[in-house]
């Protein structure tokens, strides 16, 4: 790039190309994170309070309205979500006929984008948010069945989002423990400050574009390995260890060897949390009880050994992705769907931020410093 620079010394601009780090761009009522204390709040409520008490559907209502629903409102939301689970035929056809090796997150992005074509003409943003929240699990489960050569399982018009998702994925009703685990995962991933996908969602909203464009963009952002792709990477690491060395593998030696080779160990550390991510605490408990039930104890034991080693060697804590990986695996879900499940939960936070941005909008457009030549003369192609 050096030959483009015209006497511009980029070291004079240390704040450029820094990812807007530290820039406070919004006020929000949606969530608060204290990285030093390990505290996470959704619209007034501590994540511990919500993890112990709330369903995913209650969290959706909370994030959309900045208050919890009363019993009637919660019933109504549950009914609407149940009623909206089916996919338009054109969307199902796409899922049935696209390349079977497609990335699940790419299929989710395309199918959610397509939903806009089939919304009723009089539907408003809250209707769209409910429709996407209801249909995303159906999209994910349908594609997973199709690519495995199985019949698509139609959604049921009863039960929680978590219940219906596991039912559509596996073709049988989940037990209470599995449903509750899945529901808790959805609660824990619903919202998390001004992360990259939420920021992208607000940036699209800021042009006065609509909610399908904003959510489609957010899915594309979450898809990145630096954002939502980490739990898939955690599980793939653990599965590779099993493939290479069997269930008797030594996770401590494995971790130390990675550290020695200065290789990145997925699932540890976080830009915001300097202590243990409070979501990891809840997932860790879940991971243990599920592993006991499903015969994946070795995975839980490996995880704990890796956590201990990382703490001793580097004083780095695991993040939300580390334990969600083994939880999803114990629920029988294949690793490349984990980011889709993240999206299926985070749709609640994205749409909440869309509403908030729209209410007090300002076009989001930072500036760039041009660092190349100007007004070069034209030379015809044959003389270049």
- Decide if residue 187 touches a second copy (CB under 8 A): no
Annotation says 99 is catalytic: no
> At 46, is the secondary structure helix, strand, or coil?
strand
What whole-number distance in Å separates Cα of residue 279 and Cα of residue 33?
A: 12
Window 105-134: residues binding a second copy (CB under 8 A) = 106-107, 109-110, 113-114, 116-118
Token pair recorded at residue 65 = 């309205």
CB of 240 vs a second copy, minimal distance in Å: 20
C-beta of 69 vs 251, nearer to a second copy: 69
CB of 59 vs a second copy, minimal distance in Å: 12
- Asked if 1 contacts 369 with a C-beta cutoff of 8 angstroms, the reply is no
- Decide if residue 172 touches a second copy (CB under 8 A): no
The strands making up 31-34's β-sheet, listed across from edge to edge, are: 31-34, 39-42, 45-46
Annotation says 270 is catalytic: yes
- Decide if residue 234 touches a second copy (CB under 8 A): no
CB of 227 vs a second copy, minimal distance in Å: 4
Q: Which stretch binds a second copy (CB under 8 A): 102-110, 158-166, 231-239, 288-296?
A: 102-110
What whole-number distance in Å separates Cα of residue 344 and Cα of residue 3?
A: 46
Instruction: Indicate which single residue of 65, 66, 80, 301 sits in contact with a second copy (rule: CB under 8 A).
Output: 66
What whole-number distance in Å separates Cα of residue 105 and Cα of residue 266?
A: 19
DSSP alpha helix (H) spans, 148-175: 161-170
- Decide if residue 262 touches a second copy (CB under 8 A): no
- Asked if 349 contacts 192 with a C-beta cutoff of 8 angstroms, the reply is yes
Window 193-232: residues binding a second copy (CB under 8 A) = 193-197, 199-200, 203-204, 206-210, 212-214, 216-217, 219-229
Considering the candidates 189, 270, 282, 296, report the single residue annotated as catalytic. Answer: 270
C-beta of 159 vs 220, nearer to a second copy: 220
What whole-number distance in Å separates Cα of residue 138 and Cα of residue 161?
A: 10
Window 343-382: residues binding a second copy (CB under 8 A) = 360, 362-382
- Decide if residue 2 touches a second copy (CB under 8 A): no
> At 45, is the secondary structure helix, strand, or coil?
strand
What whole-number distance in Å separates Cα of residue 355 and Cα of residue 8?
A: 41
Residue from 380, 265, 250 nearest 322 by CA? 265
Q: Which stretch binds a second copy (CB under 8 A): 24-32, 259-267, 298-306, 315-323?
A: 24-32
Catalytic residues: 270, 321
């Amino acid at each position: 790039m050096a030959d483009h620079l015209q006497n511009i010394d980029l070291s004079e601009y240390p704040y450029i190309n820094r990812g807007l780090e530290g820039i406070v761009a919004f006020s929000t009522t949606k969530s608060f994170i204290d990285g030093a204390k390990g505290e996470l709040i959704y619209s007034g409520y501590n994540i511990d309070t919500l993890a112990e008490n709330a369903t995913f559907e209650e969290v959706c209502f909370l994030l959309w309205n900045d208050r919890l629903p009363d019993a009637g409102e919660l019933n109504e939301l549950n009914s609407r979500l149940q009623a909206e689970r089916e996919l338009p035929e054109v969307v199902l056809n796409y899922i049935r006929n696209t390349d079977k090796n497609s990335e699940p997150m790419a299929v989710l992005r395309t199918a959610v984008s397509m939903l806009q074509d089939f919304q009723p003409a009089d539907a408003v943003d809250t209707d769209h948010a409910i429709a996407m929240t209801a249909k995303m699990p159906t999209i994910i489960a349908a594609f997973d069945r199709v690519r495995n050569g199985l019949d698509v399982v139609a959604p049921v018009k009863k039960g929680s989002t978590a219940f219906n998702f596991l039912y559509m994925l596996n073709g049988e009703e989940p037990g209470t423990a599995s449903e509750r685990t899945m529901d808790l995962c959805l609660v824990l991933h619903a919202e998390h400050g001004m992360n990259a996908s939420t920021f992208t969602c607000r940036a699209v909203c800021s042009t006065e574009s609509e909610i399908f464009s904003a959510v489609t963009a957010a899915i594309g952002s979450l898809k990145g390995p630096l954002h939502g792709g980490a739990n898939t990477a955690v599980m793939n690491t653990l599965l590779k260890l099993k493939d290479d060395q069997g269930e008797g593998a030594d996770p401590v030696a494995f971790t130390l060897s990675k550290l020695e080779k200065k290789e990145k160990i997925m699932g540890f550390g976080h830009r915001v949390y300097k202590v243990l991510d409070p979501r990891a605490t809840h997932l860790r408990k879940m991971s243990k009880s599920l592993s006991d039930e499903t015969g994946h104890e070795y995975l839980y034991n490996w995880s704990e050994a890796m956590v201990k080693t990382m703490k001793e060697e580097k004083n780095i804590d695991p993040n939300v992705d580390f334990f969600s990986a083994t939880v999803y695996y114990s629920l029988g879900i294949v690793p490349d769907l984990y980011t889709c499940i993240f999206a299926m939960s985070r749709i609640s936070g994205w749409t909440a931020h869309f509403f908030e941005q729209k209410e007090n909008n300002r076009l989001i457009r930072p500036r760039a410093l041009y660092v190349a030549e100007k007004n070069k003369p034209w030379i015809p192609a044959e003389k270049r």
